[in-house]
């Protein structure tokens, strides 16, 4: 025990005082700089330092980094990480200054004439349509609310598409059902469309609507609602009973467009491009362009953009011949999304759950897989179970904190339903595509996807009806913090010791020990 402690102490000493950055790969340097940005954005949601101080401090760190370059690598790298942290705080502060809710909240409780442009793809439901309107004028004049976005829930007619410029009259109310404070215009009295835009977004919206109608022709309910959620995200195609069943069994993530879903789509595109012998250097460009159009079509929400970034980075790693750096892919996705909207980190529950689940699958799954390496992996069920358990261990405390309900059947249900998801997506997508041209042929191709969807829904339905499927349970914020500190500390101790983080140092130490 004493010898092992001396080796560990020697390794730490060597790392800190003998040019340890030479043994830190560019991949890890990129990770720590991005981590500084994320921490800075997180701090910016709670503190509000004057921007002039951040500006002066940032330039001071730039000067330190330049002076220390090639002489004091530790000071240079530390300056870059601190600079990233300051940039994160500054970005968060600028965002909060520009998006103060006072300008939009002053409209609540009054009737106004609003004029603006529809942004994003409208979400259609049975008897209504919801879309976001970016305000240009309020009561025919430019106001402090101009440039802000307000949610509108209207009747399905007249038809509204992304890019349309509208003029409508309604009473502004607070949206109490939203995850974060916002205002909403419910069923405006009049809608005037002075200018109809048919740009790329609206054209893709038409394609999306046509594709969804094709799916409804080749599959009956409720399978079509489930397959639609797998392919383009969202649970609007499922009734409230099925939504509750998904929540009870911990499978709501299946119909949220995630990195897993996008990676399946990207992999399918790569297979097609390889089949038609497309040049290797063009495959990544073509897949990237298609994913961009796909994200634009289904609505560039935070979760969808994050999923597309993850899927695209996996494609790039695959085409470059390198092993996919999931750690940096996840960190880059976080940085891009948080730079666009810094409040996601503290206000978007979906953002938090998605990243925690991904962290669990990245870092806890390999550990569990090593412990269970003697288990038989029949039809991929072992991998599905371990992936589900890894994700549940990371997200369950946060779910308890926010929702106060624990799903007892989630690991088992996910083990049973996750393996056929790729199969369902493939035949569902292909059947819907062919159904746009020949409906009967689309029904034949989509039949396999329908069978898989029925199996998944049956498992979810049976599990949700069990008397012990879920129980009410809540935890405090302090318990949540302590839990993640213990979990993170244990993973760092187990997985990211000196021998893993700095393999060259470890190899050198082991060789010197052998020579002794």
**Residue 276 DSSP label:** T
In b/e form, how buried is each residue of 433-452, taking b as 16+ CB within 10 angstroms?
Answer: ebbbeeeeebbebbebbbeb
> Residue 320: enclosing H or E segment and its boundaries?
helix 302-320
Q: What is the pLDDT of residue 8?
A: 45
Tokens 């092993």 locate to 323
- Following DSSP, what letter does each residue of 188-242 receive, concatenated? -SEEEEEE----HHHHHHHHHHHHHHHHHHHS-TTHHHHHHHHHH--STTS-HHH
Distances (CA, A) of 46 to 82, 106, 282, 339, 349: 18, 24, 45, 16, 17
> Residue 470: enclosing H or E segment and its boundaries?
strand 470-472
Q: What is the pLDDT of residue 86?
A: 92
Write the secondary structure of 360-414 as one string of H (helix), E (strand) and C (coil): HHHHHHHHHHHHCCCCCCHHHHHHHHHHHHHHHHHHHHHHHHHHCEEECCHHHHH
Q: Are strands 470-472 and 149-154 parallel, antiparallel or unpaired?
A: unpaired
CA 295 to chain centre: 12
In b/e form, how buried is each residue of 110-125, taking b as 16+ CB within 10 angstroms?
Answer: eebbbbbbbbbbbebe
Distance CA 390, CA 69 (A): 41
- Per run of 10 residues, the mean pLDDT along the chain (length 516 residues) is 47 47 71 89 86 87 82 79 91 76 63 79 75 76 67 79 78 65 73 62 73 86 85 72 83 72 73 75 79 72 68 64 62 83 79 78 79 71 72 84 82 81 84 87 90 92 85 85 88 61 40 44
Q: Are strands 129-138 and 149-154 parallel, antiparallel or unpaired?
A: antiparallel
**Tokens encoding 495:** 């997985």
Distance CA 52, CA 288 (A): 39
Distance CA 90, CA 84 (A): 10
Q: What is the pLDDT of residue 28?
A: 77
Give yes or no for a contact between 325 and 27, defined as CB atoms under 8 angstroms apart. Answer: yes
Distance CA 108, CA 244 (A): 32
In b/e form, how buried is each residue of 190-227, taking b as 16+ CB within 10 angstroms?
Answer: ebebeeeeeeebbbbbeebbebbebbbbbbeebbbbbb
Give yes or no for a contact between 158 and 127, defined as CB atoms under 8 angstroms apart. Answer: no
Q: Are strands 470-472 and 405-407 parallel, antiparallel or unpaired?
A: antiparallel
Give yes or no for a contact between 322 and 24, defined as CB atoms under 8 angstroms apart. Answer: no
How many other CB atoms are found less than 10 A from the CB of residue 273? 18
Q: What is the pLDDT of residue 384?
A: 66
Name the residue among 201, 265, 273, 289 with its Cα closest to residue 432.
265
Distance CA 249, CA 469 (A): 7
Distance CA 143, CA 115 (A): 12
Distance CA 380, CA 389 (A): 14
Tokens 């390496």 locate to 373
How many other CB atoms are found less than 10 A from the CB of residue 298? 20
> Residue 264: enclosing H or E segment and its boundaries?
helix 259-275
Distance CA 219, CA 419 (A): 21
Name the residue among 429, 452, 457, 425 with its Cα closest to residue 442.
429
Q: pTM score, two decimals?
A: 0.67
């Amino acid at each position: 025990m004493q010898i092992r402690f001396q080796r560990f102490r020697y390794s730490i000493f060597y790392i800190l005082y003998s040019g340890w950055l030479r043994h830190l790969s560019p991949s890890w340097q990129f990770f720590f700089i991005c981590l500084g940005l994320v921490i800075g954005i997180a701090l910016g949601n709670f503190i509000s330092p004057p921007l002039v101080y951040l500006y002066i401090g940032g330039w001071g760190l730039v000067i330190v980094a330049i002076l220390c370059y090639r002489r004091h690598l530790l000071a240079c790298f530390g300056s870059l990480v601190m600079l990233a942290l300051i940039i994160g705080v500054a970005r968060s502060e600028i965002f909060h200054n520009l998006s103060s809710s006072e300008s939009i909240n002053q409209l609540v409780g009054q009737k106004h004439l609003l004029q603006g442009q529809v942004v994003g793809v409208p979400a259609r439901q049975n008897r209504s349509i919801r879309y976001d309107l970016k305000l240009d004028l309020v009561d025919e004049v430019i106001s402090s609310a101009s440039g802000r976005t307000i949610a509108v829930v209207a009747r399905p007619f007249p038809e509204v598409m992304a890019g349309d410029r509208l003029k409508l009259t309604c009473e502004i109310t607070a949206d109490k059902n939203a995850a974060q404070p916002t205002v909403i215009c419910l069923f405006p009295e009049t809608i005037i469309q002075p200018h109809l835009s048919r740009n790329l977004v609206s054209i893709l919206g038409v394609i999306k609507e046509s594709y969804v109608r094709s799916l409804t022709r080749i599959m009956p309910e409720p399978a079509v609602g489930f397959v639609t959620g797998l392919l383009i995200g969202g649970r609007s195609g499922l009734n409230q009973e099925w939504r509750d069943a998904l929540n009870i069994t911990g499978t709501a993530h299946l119909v949220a467009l995630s990195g897993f879903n996008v990676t399946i789509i990207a992999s399918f595109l790569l297979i097609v491009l390889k089949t038609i012998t497309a040049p290797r250097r063009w495959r990544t460009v073509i897949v990237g362009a298609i994913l961009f159009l796909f994200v634009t079509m289904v609505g560039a929400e935070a979760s969808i953009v994050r999923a597309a970034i993850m899927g695209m980075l996996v494609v790039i790693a695959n085409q470059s011949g390198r092993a996919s750096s999931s750690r940096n892919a996840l960190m880059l996705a976080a940085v891009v999304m948080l730079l666009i909207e810094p409040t996601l980190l503290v206000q978007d529950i979906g953002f938090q759950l998605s990243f925690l689940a991904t962290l669990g699958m990245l870092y806890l799954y390999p550990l569990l897989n090593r412990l269970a390496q003697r288990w038989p992996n029949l039809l991929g069920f072992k991998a599905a179970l371990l992936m589900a358990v890894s994700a549940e261990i990371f997200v369950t405390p946060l779910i308890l904190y926010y929702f106060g309900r624990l799903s007892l059947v989630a690991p088992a249900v996910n083990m049973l339903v996750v393996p056929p998801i790729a199969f369902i997506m493939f035949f569902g997508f292909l059947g819907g595509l062919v159904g746009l041209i020949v409906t009967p042929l689309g029904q034949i191709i989509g039949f396999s996807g329908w069978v898989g969807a029925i199996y998944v829904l049956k498992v979810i339905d049976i599990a949700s009806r069990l008397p012990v499927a879920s129980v009410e349970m809540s935890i405090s914020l302090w318990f949540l913090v302590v839990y993640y500190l213990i979990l993170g500390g244990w993973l760092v101790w187990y997985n990211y010791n000196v021998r893993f983080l700095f393999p060259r140092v470890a190899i050198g130490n082991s060789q010197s020990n052998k020579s002794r």
